[in-house]
Amino acid sequence: MASVETIETGRTVNWIGFNEKLSRSLQGEYLKQFGHRNQNELSPEVIAFRDALDSFPVPIRVLYIDNGKPAESIHTLIQLDLSRPSSVEAEFLGVVPVNELDLSVLRDRFGIEAESAAELTPATYFDTAGRFITQVLPYAIGDAPDRYSNDLYEFLRSGFWDVIQAKFRKSVDYKAKYGVPSDPILPPSDLLTYRQIVTNVQTGEPPSVEDWQAMVSDIVLIPQVSEHVKRTFRIAKQLFIFSYFEYGFSVASQHYAFLALEAALQTRWTLTLPLPTPVEWGDGNRTEFQRLPMHKDLYKRWKFDRKMLINGKRFPYSTFELLRVLRKKGIITRWQGERIESAIHLRNELSHLEFATVTPAYAATLSVTAELINAMFDSVARES
């Protein structure tokens, strides 16, 4: 069909020109976002997105559907043929009243299976191989090319992102480049094998899995401890248990125990705040949180406003500032504070490794950490 069509919206649309403009708009939007960056500043994902947009224009097929409604009566059915990049082809199939819509046209020309025209609501269809995109839009795209290019760009950047990455992302297969073999797939009998060094002194036999679990089963947190602290500590216990099969999990268990302790400090400080929580900004403005804020959320704001005051006090931005405040409030003792400081130093060492530290499994680390967390929350009123 000719690329220049007079349509019932009262406009004459050059669909080849529309397709060319669509391509320029998509690539122009990319340049606005990323054009100021050099090639080596772009992630492989962004480069893949750029390459996908560079494949435009692609052949388009357009059908207008008149639903007979006063507001935006024309709907658009458009298919983009992504299997034929760098082609400006455009086919306009005219305007069809919705009650005269031939469902075979939907199936054969647009790949949409529908039992009635009523099913044709605004939507986007595509295949995971990235060969086509079919869209039903609640407006005449020929009358609103900028609107459509914006809508398409947002879809490509969000809903179609994974397809673009699978099709366009270029990466080095280092495994193939250096001939590195895959790890063997082990049967459960080999994978779930005892790999600790502890043995029963009397029998010389290793402990059972049940014995290993029993080492930490009584190490629990009290009800007042917040759920996200409990969740982190639960991971620490699970890592300890699975160190039965993988020696290195012992260190990861200690690391997570110290992460739970740090989270406990943040949460316990938050529970000292009143409701609503007054916050004063460096410019003199003031606001109130109706719910207790999270320490990490406040920290993000503090990074941009170092004069921020919480409940009239300086924001305790670091772990050691939190320790100072909680000690001043009598929530932790000096002795507890010193033990917590030691744990935080250990956490830092485990977080910034040049080589993988391997140590034996210490249930005592979990026990001491749980005791410190429970001591902090013991003074919190328990919900009935």
HEC profile for 254-301? HHHHHHHHHHHHHHHHHCCCCCCEEEECCCCCEEEECCCCCHHHHHHH
pLDDT of amino acid 201 = 75
Q: How far apart are CA 367 and CA 218, in angstroms?
A: 9
What does the mean pLDDT of the chain come to? 90
pLDDT digits over 87-98, tens only? 999 999 999 998
Task: Give residue 1's pLDDT band: very low, low, confident or very high (50, 70, 90).
Answer: very low
Q: Mind listing the pLDDT tens digit for each residue in 130-185?
A: 999 999 999 999 999 999 999 999 999 999 999 999 999 998 899 999 999 999 99
**CA-based angle 269:274:276, to the nearest 5?**
125
Interval 205-262: pLDDT, tens: 888 999 999 999 999 999 999 999 999 999 999 999 999 999 889 999 999 999 999 9
pLDDT at residue 384 in the model: 44
Question: Over the stretch 105-122, which tens digit does the pLDDT of each residue have?
Answer: 888 999 888 888 777 888
In Å, how far are 58, 266, 276 from 319, measured between CA atoms? 55, 8, 24
Distance CA 294, CA 271 (A): 10
pLDDT at 289: 92
pLDDT confidence of 70, banded at 50, 70, 90? low
Q: What is the pLDDT of residue 7?
A: 44
pLDDT digits (tens, 9 = 90+) for 277-321: 999 998 889 999 999 999 999 999 999 999 999 999 999 999 999
Cross-sheet strand order for the sheet of 313-314: 286-289, 277-280, 309-310, 313-314
pLDDT score recorded for residue 383: 62
Amino acid present at 225: V
Give percent helix, percent strand, percent coil of the chain, each to the nearest 5.
Answer: 45, 15, 40
Q: H or E stretch including 313?
A: strand 313-314
Residue 134 near residue 107 (C-beta atoms within 8 A): no
Q: Using pLDDT thresholds of 50, 70 and 90, give the confidence band for residue 72.
A: low
Q: What is the pLDDT of residue 329?
A: 94
Reply yes or no on whether the pLDDT at 6 is more than 60: no
Does pTM top 0.85 for this prediction? no
pLDDT tens digits along 338-369:
999 999 998 888 888 777 677 777 899 999 99
For residues 357-383, average pLDDT: 88
